[in-house]
Amino acid sequence: MRHGETELNASGTWQGQLDVPLSKTGEMQAARLAARLAALGETFAGIYSSDLARAMATAMPLARALGLPVRPDPRLREICLGELAGKPRGHLAEAYAEVLEATREDPWGARFPGGESLGDVRERLEAFLAALPPGRHLVVTHAGPIRVAVWLALGLFSAEPWRLRIKNTSITRLVFPQGFPGPGEVHVVGDAAHLEPWAGMP
């Protein structure tokens, strides 16, 4: 699951690993996500979260609803954007046009100045998944790691990861039948039905 909305999300500002809180809208989204998962009546082996504030604040309502502790893990952090963090999208398109073009042409290898590439995110996400015990787990993270996890499941690293749309508090469901590492299955990507007006969530 991706974390709830922040003020920087709403204003079109790139966050990366800036540690910012949820907005009021983000808090509402997190509550709706928790209500949806609690209503399913499913059991989970654990809840893991990026240790950044916006992810932890999204995970805590899940923990209360499901009666499970949250295990923070820095390997689940968003991609580090280096000097691009905190910059509005419009400014980036002008001042960092060459950097953005490089990340489009080589998303897995091109690093943001002073930051990471998606390949770096892949390495820490692989380490997290390899250490995860068997079972069904909830993982609260960010759009970047979710995109990487989808391609990890599919084994497609020549694809265009930035084209995946991952909304705030959306659910992406991945299954690794033989555990990780191993071939995975992508069951759902970016499901945010609990945010729709017809969803009936509080």
3, 5, 116, 194: the catalytic one is 3
Residue 3 appears among annotated catalytic residues? yes
78, 116, 142, 194: the catalytic one is 78
Assign 173 to helix, strand or coil.
strand
C-alpha dist (Å) from residue 116 to 3, 62, 103, 104, 172: 20, 29, 11, 14, 23
Q: How far apart are CA 120 and CA 103, in angstroms?
A: 13
Select from 148, 134, 138, 147 the least CA-distant residue to 178: 134
C-alpha dist (Å) from residue 39 to 2, 33, 136, 168: 19, 10, 17, 20
Taking phi first (over 0 means left), then psi (-120 to 50 degrees means alpha), and beta for anything else, what does residue 2 get? beta
Residues designated as active site: 3, 78
